[in-house]
Structures are given as C-alpha cells and as structure tokens.
Structure 1
C-alpha cells in the first residue's frame, strides 16, 4: 500500500508539472499573440488619435514587447514566435515613423498658424496670400507672436521661423509694386527692426544652450 501511494504521489506530481508546463506555454503564446494584436490595433487608430496618445501607446508597446520576448523560452515553437515578434516590430516601426512625421507636421502647422494667423496655402513657404491690404497685419501678428513666445522656441524652430520670415520679406518686395502705402511700409520697417534685434539674440542664446547641453551629454 505504501509503495502504491508513493507511485500515485509521483504520478500526481508529474501531472502537475505537465499542467504547469502547458499553462506556461499557453501564457507565453498568448503574450506573443497579444503583442501582435496590440500593434494591429495601433494601425487601426486614426492619425490624430494616434499622435495625441503616442506616449501612452509607446509605453504600452514596450511592456507588451518585453512580455512577448520573456516568454520565448516557454513557447512550443520558438522559431515561429520569434518570426512573429520580428515581423511585428517592423510593423510597429513603420507606424512609429509615420506618427513622428505626423506629429512634426502638426507642430510645424501650429507654429506657422500662430505666427501668421493663417493656414498655409500651397506650402508653408508660399506667401502669395499676403497682399498690400493685409501685409501690415501679417507682420504685426508675426512680430507680436514671436515676442510673446521667444523664450520657448527651440533652435530648429528658430531656423524655421527665419526661413518663413525671409520668404515673407521676399513677398513684401512684390507687394510694394502692387501699391503698398508709404505709411504701411514705414510701420513694417519698424516691426522688422524690432524683430531682427530680438531674433538675433534668441538665435545666439539658443545655440549657446545647445552647445552646453551637448557638452554635458558628452561628459
């Protein structure tokens, strides 16, 4: 009887190990499948929603990837699971790159609209919408917005602002030939002088801050 009980106990322990093993395999496979399903769900989001929630999306992605990779030791078909994970990584990187481009475009559009109070037409370097009747207001909007936000602009944004300003100035040369009044031209000249002085300072300090940050990162 004692021997039978010992044998029965051994059989139950073995069954338990098998059950645990099966549970581990299922859990590992679920983590791999869940990882793939999560990335598929990201692809299904509309662009605006994905951009607005990207930080949360990316954090959850990294958690799911970690779980999927941790379970590779337990999956029944490791080669197939690794292939699925690698394919899903490629899909995610494509979505991520697209989202980063969309986010940058949205930031650029917001910067442009704030400075000029106008949606870009034909591209943000096209200022054909500026004419003799609205050009003074455009310069005022631009200079006043820059003044209000000058401390928050990054070096890249300042470079973009400079390019837009030069494009606006080029448009002014054309507008002058279309009947720009002397009074408006004088007001614009004052605004240009004010902007040039402030922009030069902000550009210089931004470069200095960037160099300092690069130095600290290298240390």
Structure 2
C-alpha cells in the first residue's frame, strides 16, 4: 500500500513538472514571437523610410542639376542607361514599400515620379543628341570612323573639310535642337584647333576659302535657336538698361521737383515771417 502511494505521488510530481515545463515553454515562445514581430515591424519601417528618403533625395539632386553641357569625352548612351537603371532601382524600392506609407506620402511619391518623368524626357533627348556625336564626326569632319583625333586632316585636305562641314550644317540646320548645336559647335571647335595647328602650312588661297566657310557657319549659327536666344537676352538687357535709365531720369526729375517745391515753400515761409516782423515793427511805431 505504501509503495502504491509513493508511485502515485511520483506520477503526480512528474505530471506537474510537465505542465509547469509546458507552461514555461509556451510563455517563452510567446515572448520570443512578440519580440520577433516587433523587430520585424521596426525593420520594415526603417526600410520603407530609407527607400522614401533615398528616392526623394535622388529626385531633388537630379532636378537641381540643370547644366547638362555636351562633353565629347563622355559616353552619353552609357550615361542614359546608368541614369535609367538608378531611377528604376529607387522606384522599385518605394513601390515595394508602398503599403507601409500613408495616403499623403503615396501621393507625394506619385507626384515626384510624374515630375521627374517630365524632366527626364527633355534631358534624355539632349543626351541622345550628344550620343550621336560619334556617328556625326566622321561625316562632318571627313575623318575615319572612331578616330580619336583629327590628324587625318592635313594642309592638303583641311579646306575641303571646312567646306564639307558648312555644307552639312546648311543641309541639317533646320532640324537641329539646342543640344544638336552644342555637338556641332564642339566639332567645329575641334576643326578650328586642327587648322590652327597647321596654319603656317596653308596656302593663301586655302586661308581665304576657309575664312569664307567660317563666315557662313557663324551666320547660320547666329540665325539658329541659339543665336535667337542670345539676341533675346541682349535685347532684354538693353531694355532693362533703358528702363533703368528712364527710372533714374524720372527719379531725378521727381527729386528736382521736390527740391524746388521745398525751396519755394521755405522761401514763402521766410517771406511770411519777414512780413510779420515788419508789421510788428510798424505797429510798435504807431503806438509811439
């Protein structure tokens, strides 16, 4: 009987231990799960904030960069590809986290996308024009494809190169964008530099004909959009200077008028005081 009691007691203790152990494990697992969920929520929030901040800062930076001038040393097709890859990467990050943003932020992100897309269309067209320079150089400058310099132009053929260049500009100038003109003018500068390097070896006739070609080119450039823009700027400056001069003249006239009126007023007041003084003296004499 005693053995049975001890066996039952032992069984109860084992059962109690198992229950306590299971309870402890369940509580521990719950705490661990809650911690994991909390950490996951924090990580998601941080990731979504980082994606938004990176996207916004990148858009702001690209919009501030407005001076995209042609550079013959750059691979503009690669520039286009790199820019579009960078944009798509940042868009994918904010789109992935879109469900964690409120309505205001989602609307802001969509507005930034639209704004950037409009800006990029213009810039991409300019970059594409810059990218055409490699194919235009052999045609305009009459040098071999992929030539890294203009050493192929010699005293014997550089005059013909000038005449060919001017003919190509004459043929295509109506379709040039401002970006195209930047490319064309950069090639023209290279052509001039090559001519200057061999100037002493040119005949008087070649120098004369090259001079005529340069005059034609400058006239076409002046009549282009770039030339018209420069003319408008000059006109605005002239108008501004004229307006400023007119304002200065008007101010001087107004100032002179005010001074004259002030002088008249002072003179009138002085005269009145003098008259009063005389009247006072005369009154004193009469009393005597």
Indicate the TM-score class for this superposition, using the shorter chain for normalisation.
Answer: 0.3 to 0.5
The TM-score, its normalising length taken from structure 1, stands at 0.46
The TM-score, its normalising length taken from structure 2, stands at 0.36
Taking CA–CA contacts closer than 8 Å with sequence separation of 6 or more, which of the two structures ends up with the larger relative contact order? 1
Please identify the structure whose Cα radius of gyration is greater: 2
